[in-house]
Structure 1
């Protein structure tokens, strides 16, 4: 079977989004060596000041038969130069995305920023089609994955040229997001019906993920997961570290509740400050510090900055408790994220904090299967004592034994192995090919 995977986020690029199709491809080839996998992606600029490579993902590139990189054309170089010149204004506009009540001038900036980003999608599409002009597109299966959107635009065009190929249009995220400004949301909301109507099947990471699919379209859930080959043994914590590795999204994410409970436990005399830290690893150290200061608990913060994925794994291995954040609203439901799947490999306790006004999120319903605890901001009175009690219980266990333990549903965790997920995708490919032949 000849498979084309069109994705901007794929090995060796260091990004949690790169994991999904790198790992699915890896395990498809491992189980079905006859599969011939070609990757189509944009050209990256690795090195100082540029993008970073993930050495773990780089090893998995052995699964790829071909690796096509689309060089940057003149229009893309111009776009990137203009973005660099206006980096401050772009950052300011992006920050409004997660504001609870953006003011009108900021909203206008957001509309403009999203319109410019949509133009980038068109540039990426045009330069990719120019690159493919002299390529033989003899594929049995085409996989395109959002985001960004240009892989779907390219797959739509290839499907017209090769109608017998099976097209799987994949969504890691919704294109029309709750953070979009109103005009951009309406524009993005039409995208799937307009450009993915010819897809044989649409896949998404969660059943409740909103993609506004065409009427009658076949939609399958293909979750994200973890690579069992990357699992590392859990190490006893030398210190009672609450560890968060990843991105903070303004007011939508809340580490403040952890700083508050650490301060309260210290004031109650049941936690020793020199034994406990909240260790943050990511690119928003200033935001983490602001959250700590707001709770009068900056002494508990240790900022590691941005780490390579293997370094983040090592930090997770020696943690006492792993921290996860998300939000649950009518237009954006909380789910397990790529970070959660990484955490599953450690066998460590997980404390999940959910903001937003919709109670009983997926984490709240299922965190017990991971042996963890979930706090929901909209149910503060009910869930804060449970979170605080859980952290205190784990701290006391660590003081007594030097360990932190959990009891979890191992069958549930095993269901998120990319080995299993890849086989699900392979069966889907085979099924759709058989239907096309009949």
Structure 2
């Protein structure tokens, strides 16, 4: 007999973006390991990105529970236009460029919505789920965040019911980069810290996506912490031909602080110094992009070489990955992002295209790329090495020999990772 497990998640199809992928795939494979997932999601959620194609991946055999959610972003849009949408996507303008409305919205978001803008969903969810759990004799609940309001749901269920509670952190809580941009008062910072500590010390088990996050949480709690990274799923696609241009493709959001001026400088210099490179080069940007990044690209005279695609479905994003000559993975140059492993990295790994990654020293991303032999990782000070490597890749492109020889990728398959999860459950 399969074990029933209740999964509380905010992101679920038709939501798009990286937040939906992790539990969509866990739910897909859990039945293979004698676990029956029951998924609880918000009704009428205000998702910043929509990808209706992902609905096809949800099995008709999965029980989906819904209750309505009220969110402040709709009202915020009436007051601020598209600023509320960009903030909900995580794209925050640099402080010195923020107007009064942006500063006010960030202050309100940070200090009046603790832990986040979905806090109003906690009370009705606890009421609904308490009855459902008792009626259906469910003894295990998993919450996944962000939004961390979902962990507050788990906290209250654990407090009132005899259940096993597993808290899954796709990202850290108080140390994530954008947390510093919320203009928090000292009292609000203390509330976040206290709530984070209470969640970490009450959950029966904690799951994180990287070793740095595990180390961070070990300083707060003695509860067992397991690392289960994100991963890749096997997707059948048509035969895809590589781009004729020497394409460097970044897939996903380019936040304002995720703006690698060293890379723009390298590309600008290569264009100036090599006429054939200038003729062949194209920079594909697939996803949301901050105004600060666009300004930097203009400054380095890269605008004529940009193919600004915008947001596309997950299926289309996979196609772009597989047809690009090189793939770009860019993370903010900060110790706060050492623990961030973008979900797209794992799909990059199986695309058979070399990866150029930039990020902070000590990142798990560097370890994964090097151990799988799938590309090169650079710090934001590596101008000469970055330039030399891109030129080397370009020469391989001209000779028709640009490819990778990956190793050890099976450790990141969604099925393998779900088996690890099932053992914790």
Q: TM-score range by the shorter chain?
A: 0.7 to 0.9
Query: 2 CA distance for matches of 1:315 and 1:342?
Result: 11
Task: Decide whether the 8 Å contact of 2:86 with 2:92 is kept in 1.
Answer: no
Deviations 1:369-411 (A, max 9, x none): 343122211xx2xx2222212211121122122x421233x11
254, 259, 265: which one aligns with 2:259: 254
How far does residue 67 in structure 1 lie from its aligned partner after superposition?
0.2
1:193-272 equivalence runs, <5 A: 193-209=197-213, 210-211=216-217, 214-229=220-235, 235-250=241-256, 252-269=257-274, 271-272=276-277
Task: Decide whether the 8 Å contact of 1:373 with 1:386 is kept in 2.
Answer: no
Answer yes or no: is 1:343 the counterpart of 2:348.
Answer: yes
Task: Decide whether the 8 Å contact of 2:126 with 2:157 is kept in 1.
Answer: no
1:98-117 equivalence runs, <5 A: 99=94, 110-117=106-113
Give the aligned length.
408
Shift of the 140–129 alpha-carbon distance from structure 1 to 2, 3 Å rule, reads: closer
Shift of the 277–178 alpha-carbon distance from structure 1 to 2, 3 Å rule, reads: closer
358, 373, 376: which one aligns with 1:373: 376
1:297-316 equivalence runs, <5 A: 297-316=302-321
1:24-423 equivalence runs, <5 A: 24-29=26-31, 31-32=32-33, 34-44=34-44, 52-55=50-53, 57-62=54-59, 65-72=62-69, 76=70, 79-88=72-81, 90=84, 99=94, 110-118=106-114, 120-132=117-129, 134-135=131-132, 136-163=135-162, 165-176=163-174, 177-180=176-179, 181-183=183-185, 184-209=188-213, 210-211=216-217, 214-229=220-235, 235-250=241-256, 252-269=257-274, 271-284=276-289, 286-354=291-359, 359-368=361-370, 369-377=372-380, 380=381, 383-401=382-400, 403-408=401-406, 410-411=407-408, 413-423=409-419
Task: Decide whether the 8 Å contact of 1:141 with 1:167 is kept in 2.
Answer: yes
Task: Decide whether the 8 Å contact of 2:282 with 2:305 is kept in 1.
Answer: yes
The TM-score normalised by the length of structure 2 is 0.85
Shift of the 109–264 alpha-carbon distance from structure 1 to 2, 3 Å rule, reads: same
- What do you get for the CA RMSD once the two structures are aligned? 3.0
Aligned match of 1:2: 4
Task: Decide whether the 8 Å contact of 1:204 with 1:223 is kept in 2.
Answer: yes
Structure 2 gap segments, 5+ residues each: none
Shift of the 35–215 alpha-carbon distance from structure 1 to 2, 3 Å rule, reads: closer
Structure 1 gap segments, 5+ residues each: 430-438
